[in-house]
Copies of this chain bind each other. A is one copy, B any other.
């Protein structure tokens, strides 16, 4: 892959919110409505981050009825030479929200 494309993907990963989104998606696919309450930012901000990751070829979306789920494209991460194994497991954030009843039932 051209070095500019790799740089673009690394830049997409080089934001704390997006990198945490990627870490979450590493534990399981997530719906936009699940990601919003994890971070203290607006739904449009989350949508834009997801769009940025999608543009870099790092995630793909799947609509399930009303909801849109995002998942990692692991081959692309492999292609740019980035390994997820060094990222912390953030799935506890989703679990906490779920226990507090702050997640919409989207699946």
Interfacial residues, chain A to chain B (CB-CB below 8 A)? 1, 3-4, 6-16, 18-20, 23, 79-88
Q: Is the CB–CB distance between B81 and A6 below 8 Å?
A: no
Complex Cα spacing A11 to B8, Å: 10
Q: Which residue of B lies closest to A9 (CB)?
A: B14
C-alpha spacing A56/B1, complex, angstroms = 24
Known: A81-B82, A87-B81. A16 touches B1 (CB 8 A): no
Q: Which of B10, B79, B83 contacts A14 (CB 8 A)?
A: B10
5 smallest beta-carbon distances between A and B, as pairs: A11-B14, A81-B86, A10-B14, A81-B83, A14-B14
> Is the pair B15, A3 in contact by a Cβ cutoff of 8 Å?
no
Asked whether, in the complex, the Cβ of A16 is within 8 Å of the Cβ of B7, the reply is: yes
Q: A3-B87, A79-B86, A82-B81 are in contact. Are A19 and B13 (CB under 8 A)?
A: no
- Considering the chains assembled together, what is the distance between the CA atoms of A15 and B20 in angstroms? 20
